[in-house]
Every structure is written in C-alpha cells, then in structure tokens.
Amino acid sequence: MKIGARVRRLRKLRGLTIEELANNADLTKGFISQLERDITVPSVLNLKQVVEVLGLDLGTFFSEIDENEKNIYQAKDRIIDIDLEDYKVANLIPKLRYLEMNPQLLTLMPLAIYESDYEENEGFGFVVKGKIELTIEAETRTINRGGCFYVFFDNHIRVKNLSKKAAEILWVHY
C-alpha cells in the first residue's frame, strides 16, 4: 500500500476531514490532498507531523504497511471463527489493520438457534440463503432470503433458522 492511501485510510478511520488533519499537523489542505493521492513526497518532518496527528509514530506507521494487503478475497481466504454443531461463523476477510467493519458469514444448520450479545455498536444482516426468525429483545420478525435488517447491538439478539436446509446470513458489524 502506498503512503498516501495509508494516510487517507487512517484519517477516515479517525473521523477527520482533510482540513482537520491539515490544521492539526500545521500543514495545508492542498498538501494533505496531494499526499493522500501520492502526488507529493513528504519530508520526514511533514510525514511525522501527519502520522502523530493520526495517533502513531513513524516506526509503527511503516511497520504496519503490508504490501500484500489486498481488496479481493476468495472463499479459501475465510477464517472460521466459530465451528459448532448448530452454527458456524466465518470471517470473510482476514483481520486487516485498521479494519473498521467486520464482515462475517453465519451459517445456521436446519432449525438451529444462534444467540449473541455483540460488543459492537451496530450491524447489518443480509439473508443469503434460507428463512430466519430474528428476535431482538421482545420483537420477533421473519426474514426470507434476500431480506435484510439493521440492528443496534445494545440488546440480546437471537436468530433461528426456519428452513430445512442450512441458512446463511451475511453479518457486517462495527
């Protein structure tokens, strides 16, 4: 990954605008914009100023650049996080540094139940296969294949597979 792309990713993850990053680093918006697009090569001092605003030191910034980071992942890249008789949870991409979203595939066996109290703030689910029953606290809804839901994870969540075959739900949570 190029330096500019890394700076842009970190800036966005920290919720900063280009202007905020520039002001906090005592640089111009134009310089930060050019840096993020790899149009300019920063001096060590300027890069140090930017990286410190982003909460890192230069050593950490460079040690965490992985030239092998990629944007496309195959089924073989998945990491099984939980593998039980009733359900399986697979991480769809390896844990990248600065990963803000956590996309997972939840596979529920026929009539199986998955319950969780997520520590994340919110999430999105898409029913890829099957028919599920989603219960959040006292509210229960049935969701068919192709349906989706958005939840805040400050409550207990229960998912039941209503199908006679395995159901799959794409979870993306923050």
In a shared domain, residues 162 and 99: yes
pLDDT in tens, 94-148: 765 556 678 899 999 999 999 886 665 788 999 999 999 999 888 999 999 999 9
Distance separating alpha carbons of residues 142 and 79, to the nearest angstrom: 29
Provide the pLDDT confidence category of residue 62 given band limits of 50, 70 and 90.
confident
Start-to-end CA distance of the chain, whole Å, equals 23
| Domain total of the chain | 2
27 is in which domain, residue-wise?
3-63
In a shared domain, residues 111 and 87: yes
3-state secondary structure 23-82: HHCCCCHHHHHHHHCCCCCCCHHHHHHHHHHCCCCHHHHHHCCCCCCCCCCCHHHCEEEE
Backbone angles phi and psi of 95, in degrees to 5: -65, 105
pLDDT at 59: 84
Check: pTM over 0.85? Answer yes or no.
Answer: no
CATH of the domain at 100: 2.60.120.10
Average pLDDT over residues 13-18: 88
pLDDT at 112: 96
